[in-house]
Amino acid sequence: MHRLNKIKVLIIIWGMLISGSAFSQDIIVVCPDCKVSSIKQAIEKAKSGDEIVVKNGVYKETGIRIEKKLSIYGENFPEIDGQNLNQEIISVAHDSVTISGFVVKNVGVSYIDDLAAIKVYEHKGCVIENNKIQNAFFGIYLNHSNNCVIRNNEVIGEAVAEMSSGNAIHLWYARDILIEGNLAKNHRDGIYLEFVENSKVSDNVSEGNLRYGLHFMFSNHNTYSGNTFQNNGAGVAVMFSRFITMTKNKFYKNWGTSSYGLLLKEIFDGEITNNYFEENTVGIYAEGSNRMKIENNDFKSNGWAMKILGSCMDNTFTGNNFFFNTFDITTNARTFESNKISRNYWSEYTGYDLDKDGIGDQPYRPVKVFSFVITRVPASIILLRSLFIDMLNFAEKVMPVMTPSTLMDEQPLMKPADRSAF
């Protein structure tokens, strides 16, 4: 299914290239001293299928509306300055438009419209690549648009407060989109997807955003891979989505009282594999998430590696490595039967392996009684690191009374699972 989509996207891009070269008759050159000195002028002159090359320079233009099939290239990053006039800088309202190689900046904040540096309205086949977008309200915004590629852009905002800032890359009702190799920084959300289907988000870096590094809702059948999310206000939030694949992503330092590495809410049939979580307050927080495969992830030095609430069912946790987290797993569930935890490595496991098969002979109980108590009464965290709590944890480890007795790894690994294959 995903592969098909990828091929589809590729064919579309290829098709665009072919048609571009076969039918384009003209190249219109724009430079500050040329006959055509503004991008708007060039667009007016051009006919469908033309190419516009914009030379280096500063173009103080906003409200550039593209209603023809055009490819617009910037040479040496010409600057399009919106001068904070509260207007959209580039609006795309035609299929198969390419915008590449520009610096687009200063959109201006609006509390009424979602003003963006580059916005695509209800069309398909757009390619937005190699642009640098600075100080925009919204960076790249796709509205009801399909089969687009957003690649290698740098979207760097100057967001101060959540209320008055927009998202770096924002998709609203979109299908078959490829978002690849972008940098999203200092916005409200780094990458925001709502009602997005069959899309691929890969190798992006999202950091220093006020709210979420990646935020998606009601977006099914998407793949997220190789992304890095760090130092975001609240980490990554994914909600109300089905058939999500998240692989090889890195979650670093999403640290703060209400921060998460990855927050899952109502996520069904997802796959979270080969990800790396380090120094997050909570590695994975899951609420109402069912039939998830959480495999081969590494959790290192997090406050909580995983917080799995009782509303989560039929999930499997295998092959994960847990290193030096303050708490490995917490839950408020009395029974954890429908979830399967096996063959993980736990750095706190103290059991032995007599038959030398690499699997500990005693089960490991990752939920400490104290973490269970905290989920019930948050104020009791004040007793963290108290001697009484250590004794309680030890007693519970020997003979579980309060923690769900079914929550255990019956086959804990003696050594961390090898990751060199990835």
Choice between 160 and 391, CB closer to other proteins: 391
**Does the protein bind other proteins through residue 382 (CB under 8 A)?**
yes
Contact criterion met (CB below 8 Å) for 99 and 92: yes
String of contacts with other proteins for each residue 295-324, x by CB under 8 A: --------xx--------------------
Phi first, then psi: give them for residue 45, nearest 5 degrees: -70, -30
Nearest distance from C-beta of residue 262 to other proteins, angstroms: 17
**Does the protein bind other proteins through residue 226 (CB under 8 A)?**
no
Beta bridge pairs of residue 225:
202, 247
C-alpha torsion 418→364→281→229, nearest 10: 30
Question: Token pair 């760090």 is at which residue?
Answer: 230
Characterize 191-214 residue by residue with b for buried, 16 or more Cβ atoms within 10 angstroms of its Cβ, and e for exposed: bbbbebbbbbbbbbbbbbbbbbbb
Can you tell me which of 19, 37, 258, 347 binds other proteins, judged by CB under 8 A?
258
**Does the protein bind other proteins through residue 395 (CB under 8 A)?**
no
Q: Segment contacting other proteins (CB under 8 A): 19-27, 238-246, 379-387, 412-420?
A: 379-387
Hey, what are 361's tokens?
């002979």
Hey, what are 230's tokens?
């760090």
**Does the protein bind other proteins through residue 383 (CB under 8 A)?**
yes
**Does the protein bind other proteins through residue 355 (CB under 8 A)?**
no
Q: Segment contacting other proteins (CB under 8 A): 34-42, 77-85, 172-180, 382-390?
A: 382-390
Contact criterion met (CB below 8 Å) for 52 and 73: yes
Choice between 303 and 351, CB closer to other proteins: 303
Residue type, 405: S
Can you tell me which of 1, 379, 401, 421 binds other proteins, judged by CB under 8 A?
379
Choice between 114 and 279, CB closer to other proteins: 279
Choice between 39 and 373, CB closer to other proteins: 373
Choice between 11 and 395, CB closer to other proteins: 395
d(CA 26, CA 18): 15
String of contacts with other proteins for each residue 106-145, x by CB under 8 A: ----------------------------------------
What is the Cα Rg of the chain in Å? 25
- Residue 177: how many other CB atoms lie within 10 Å: 27
Beta bridge pairs of residue 276:
250, 298
d(CA 400, CA 231): 37
**Does the protein bind other proteins through residue 398 (CB under 8 A)?**
no
Hey, what are 93's tokens?
């309202």
Residues 6+ apart with CB under 8 A from 112: none
Can you tell me which of 380, 394, 419, 422 binds other proteins, judged by CB under 8 A?
380
Nearest distance from C-beta of residue 388 to other proteins, angstroms: 4
**SS3 category, 215:** strand
Choice between 164 and 380, CB closer to other proteins: 380
**Does the protein bind other proteins through residue 381 (CB under 8 A)?**
yes
Choice between 4 and 381, CB closer to other proteins: 381
Choice between 221 and 307, CB closer to other proteins: 307
Hey, what are 401's tokens?
């009374």
Interface residues with other proteins (CB under 8 A) are: 255-259, 281, 303-304, 326, 373, 376-389, 391-392
